[in-house]
Amino acid sequence: MKKLGLFILSFILCLGPFSIAMAQKSPTICAVHPFTGRFAFAGIEGSAAMQDVVDMANEGGGVNGKKIQYYWADGEYKDDVGIAAFKRLYAQYNPQIMFGQSTGMTKALGPEIKSRYKVLYSAYTMTSEAANPKENPYLFIAAPTYTEQFGVLLKYIAKEKPGANIAFFYSDTEFGREPIVAGREICKKMGLNLVAEEVSQVGGVDITTQVLDMKGKKVDYCIFQGFVSNPIAAVIKQSKDYGLNAKFMGTFWSTELQLLRELGPLADEYTGVTAYSFYFQEDVPMVKKIREWTQKKYPKVEYRSQSYMENYMTTLLFVECFKRADKMAGGITGDNLTKALQSIKNFDVGGLMPPVSIKSNSIPVGRVYRGNSKTVRFDPISDWIRME
Amino acid sequence: MRCGDYKENYIKDEEIFQSRFVKFWLALFFIFLIVFPFIANAYMLYIANMIGFAVIGAIGLNLLTGFTGQISLGHAAFIGVGAYTSAILITKYGVSFWLSIPLAGLVSALAGLVIGIPSLRVKGLYLCIATLAAQFIFGFVFVHWESMTKGITGIHIPPPRIGSLQFVTEKDFYWITIVFVVLGVGYARNLVRSKMGRAFVAIRDRDLAAEIMGINLFRYKLTAFAISSFYAGVSGALWVSFLKVVIPEHFPFMLCIQYLAMVIVGGLGSVIGSIFGAVFMTLVPELLNVLSDMVKSYAPGMGKLIIPFKQVVFGFLIVSFLIFEPRGLAEIWNRIKKFFTLWPFSY
């Protein structure tokens, strides 16, 4: 009975703080990060980036003298846990800006954000649904959508080899299928031949059939979508064994050093699109600033991933929106923050991206990088490419 | 003074509320359920709704696995069938939410009947694999039958309404959830003391002996599958109407495991065990989240260590329950009840 009593007591103690919804007047950001679960590789880096930008902004005087408050919780990359964390954070801190952990969570909360919460919202997603200001003005992504990333790659291919044979190689998931329909249309517009669409599961699966099919269809370029690493490395390795001389490309989440390490000497065969400069591009002013901050605060950290850069960029925009909304009549509200977001034109982010202009609640720009097996890094092979 | 479990006839033995003590606490619990939405915030009501959906789903699985002894790994698929049926009926055919819920249950029950057919020939692990097929078949259908399910994009569902009254917020939906939970628990509690319920238990304990006693195995096994899937379908339909969106990724294989864990931790073959299991599996991770947030706010540097640790704690709690009380939370509840029933002569 003592144990039961202890359990009830701890339950009451835990729920106590939530019965008081504290009205916060200071600018507040709340985030649900996938700190555990299969997307933790992004969540751990992303939460560090948000904390860093908030700390930097507060050291620099905050939002017109007001310190930014930042709170976060783990969503485990599960929609129900993430939504619960969103509601818990909202009830506890009453933020003006929120950040979510996935596409599923964004889709589930989208209608309520528009009708009830009215907070500026972004997430670990690049779905087109989060970049549709007519449907939902509160949602935005600080990156190109997956469709826009496909557009950047196809634009690059159309310039390098007009009329090339293209294959889409995607996972049978929401993440994998997202840009496929629009990708077909872009191929037609750019005069490229989409000759194959290969579907595979995520992970270490047999992809011999798909490789042989691409060889039979004389594919020049194969674009991956919906994978972080496996089976990309396996496809590239087997393609060499079977004599398929295609170039292999991927979008944001697979354009990371981990894949180059897995590819080893074949790293030169992989090309990816990303929206941000890499941590090793020391000549970029914003990267230099991030490196100095990291070395000062976390001397043991040697590398910051693209997930870090994505959240760093998002939080830079959050802070800028706070500053602009604070000067508007009514102060920092969700509606003023969306107006502030729309007013961002040619915003200098120190080369992390080219000067940022928000268009349809996304930033439709990317750069193509090729893997380098000797340095195990990505080298830029194009300038920034903008999509209309 | 009452100091034992003394009954003079079978009717007394089968009563749902067996003492004034039970009636009193149950009445108090209902009063709490009615007062709760007026004192709780949106987050607590969200969790309460999620517990409600889990209770309905867990009772369904317990009727099949706990009472009838048929292990199923297709429960998430049946929840998905109900969810999609309701969403499609509401958005594509303009059916009212209130009608879509029983229809979703019926379509799920039909799916359960079909998937349950192999149960007459196969048992145990083999039946597990047979029901696992449902998970993959329906998972494929949710993604690829785009004309109905809208594939990966999913379906946005409008909130339920009665005339001009809309059930938008967690508090509004709480009343719907409570009604369905009470109906679901009430039906299950009555079912298990009926002829059908006793047939389920007989099949679980020894199917050959049950058949010799005249129980039609095929009929009762399929009925158990149908009723279990009906509960799953209703749970899924309510869940997605609450979320206002349904996408294929809402019904992963892990959801089946979660429901199995609910009925095992709560207590196999016990209606109240299903409730305890659903509450435990939904509430404890949230409590651990709250506790880790509290630790994080007092010691900011500890957040990165504490958060992954909560999953270890949750796993440890489940294993501990299975080791120290294999009959689940329901058995702990029974011991507590006996303690009070026999007090002060509890020796």
Q: How far is A269 from chain B (nearest CA, A)?
A: 31
Kindly report, residue by residue over B220-265, the tens digit of the pLDDT.
Answer: 999 999 999 999 999 999 999 998 889 888 898 889 999 999 999 9
Within 8 A by CB and 6+ apart from A378, the residues are: A255, A257, A260, A272, A274, A278, A369, A370, A371, A372
Is B152 in contact with A18 (Cβ distance < 8 A)? Answer: no
Paired residues of B161 in beta bridges = B166
The answer to whether the peptide bond before residue A355 is cis (omega within 30 degrees of 0) is no
Chain B residue with CA closest to A43: the answer is B304
Per-residue CA distances from A122 to A69, A95, A105, A110, A134 (Å): 17, 13, 11, 10, 16
Between chain A and chain B, how many beta carbons pairs sit less than 8 Å apart?
Answer: 91
Residue A91: which of B43, B293, B308 has the nearest Cβ? B43
Per-residue confidence (pLDDT) for residue B339, from 0 to 100: 79
Type of residue numbered A151: G
Check residue A11 and give its pLDDT: 47
Residues of chain A with a CB closer than 8 angstroms to some CB in chain B: 1, 4, 10-11, 14-15, 17-19, 21, 35-36, 44, 73-74, 76, 79-81, 83-85, 87-88, 90-92, 104, 107-108, 110-112, 115-116, 129, 172-174, 177-178
Percent of chain B with pLDDT over 70: 96
- Residue B263: predicted pLDDT: 93
Closest CA of chain A from B250, distance in Å: 8
Is the pLDDT at B88 greater than 90? The verdict is yes
- Residue B55 pLDDT more than 50? yes
Interface check for B285 against chain A (CB to CB < 8 A): the answer is yes
**HSE value, Cβ hemisphere, 13 Å, CA-based, for A150:** 32
Is the model more confident about B19 or about B282? B282
Q: Count each helix (H run) and each strand (E run) in chain B, helices first.
A: 15, 4
At residue B5, the pLDDT reads: 66
Pairwise CB contact (< 8 Å): B44 & A15: yes
Q: How many residues does chain B have?
A: 347
* DSSP state at residue B99: H
- The pLDDT assigned to B107 comes to 97
Mean per-residue pLDDT of chain B: 89
pLDDT at B2 over 70: no
3-state SS string over A108-149? HHHHHHHHHHCCEEEECCCCHHHCCCCCCCCECCCCCCHHHH
Whether chain A has a CB inside 8 Å of the CB on B247: the answer is: yes
Q: Do B304 and A112 touch (CB under 8 A)?
A: no
Q: What is the DSSP letter of A328?
A: S
Q: Which residues pair with A167 in a beta bridge?
A: A196, A222
d(CA A238, CA A246) in angstroms, rounded, equals 12
Task: State the 10-residue block means of pLDDT for chain A, 388 residues long.
Answer: 46 44 70 90 93 95 93 88 90 93 89 91 91 92 93 94 95 86 94 94 81 94 90 92 92 92 92 94 95 93 94 96 93 94 94 92 94 94 88
Instruction: Provide the pLDDT for residue B110.
Output: 96
B149 to chain A, any CB pair closer than 8 A? The answer is no
SS3 B137: helix
Q: Which residues lie closer than 8 Å to A229 by C-beta, 6 or more apart? A: A254, A258, A259, A262
Structure-token pair, residue B274 = 């299903």
Beta-carbon separation of B50 and A11 below 8 A = no
Distance CA A278, CA A255 (A): 10
Q: What is the DSSP string of B49-78?
A: HHHHHHHHHHHHHIIIIIIS----S-HHHH
Residue B131 DSSP SS3? helix
Q: Give the model confidence (pLDDT) of B145-174 as tens digits.
A: 989 998 888 898 999 999 888 898 899 999
Helix/strand/coil for B344: coil
Alpha-carbon gap, residue A224 to A230, rounded angstroms: 11
Nearest to A107 among B44, B245, B292 (CB): B245
Tokens representing residue B96 in the block = 């009212």
Q: Is B248's Cβ below 8 Å from some Cβ in A?
A: yes
Can you tell me the mean pLDDT for B5-25?
78
Cβ–Cβ contact B245 with A under 8 A:
yes
B15: DSSP letter = -
Q: Tell me whether residues B41 and A1 touch, CB distance under 8 A.
A: no
At A20 the pLDDT is 39
Does B41 sit within 8 Å of A91, measured CB to CB? yes
| Cα radius of gyration rounded to whole Å, chain B | 21
- Answer for the pair B156, A111: CB distance below 8 angstroms, yes or no: yes
Residues of A in contact with B310 (CB under 8 A): 74
Q: Residue B46, class by beta-carbon neighbours within 10 Å (0-12 exposed, 13-18 middle, 19+ buried)?
A: buried
**Separation CA A112–CA A105 (nearest Å):** 11
* Residues of chain A contacting B293 with CB distance shorter than 8 Å: 73, 88
Prior bond of B300 cis (ω within 30°): no
> Which of A15, A81, A91 is nearest residue B42 as measured by Cβ atoms?
A91
Determine the Cα–Cα distance for residues B262 and B255; give it in Å rounded to an integer: 10
Put simply, whether B323 touches A (Cβ < 8 Å) is no
Does B250 sit within 8 Å of A104, measured CB to CB? Answer: yes
Residue A162 is given by DSSP the state T
Contact assessment for residue B251 and residue B79, using Cβ atoms and an 8 Å cutoff: yes
The whole-angstrom separation of Cα A191 and Cα B47 is 52
8 A C-beta contact, residue B230 and residue B47:
no
Whether chain A has a CB inside 8 Å of the CB on B291: the answer is yes
**Between B56 and A41, whose confidence is greater?**
B56
Judging contacts by C-beta atoms under 8 Å, the chain B residues touching residue A112 are 244
Q: How far apart are CA A364 and CA A387, in angstroms?
A: 5
How far B243 CA lies from chain A's nearest CA (Å)?
6
d(CA A303, CA A284): 15
Q: Kindly determine whether residue A14 and residue B287, on different chains, have CB atoms separated by under 8 Å.
A: yes
Residue A12 CB neighbours (<10 A): 9
Contact A36 B307 (CB under 8 A): yes
**Structural domains in chain B plus CATH codes:** 10-342 (1.10.3470)
Q: Which two tokens stand for residue B238?
A: 């309510």
With CA atoms as reference, the chain B residue closest to A1 would be: B336
Chain A contact for B284 (CB, 8 A cutoff): no
- pLDDT of res. A84: 87
CB atoms closer than 10 angstroms to residue B294? 14
Using alpha carbons only, how large is chain A's radius of gyration in Å? 22
The verdict on ipTM greater than 0.90 is no
Sign of CA dihedral A56, A58, A64, A68: positive
pLDDT at A204: 64
Q: Which residue pairs, CB below 8 angstroms and at least 24 apart, start in B304-311? A: B304/A35, B304/A44, B307/A35, B307/A36, B307/A74, B308/A35, B308/A36, B310/A74, B310/B285, B311/A36, B311/A76
Residue A344 token pair: 């961002």
Domain annotation for chain A: domains and CATH numbers:
25-144+286-357 (3.40.50.2300), 146-274+367-386 (3.40.50.2300)
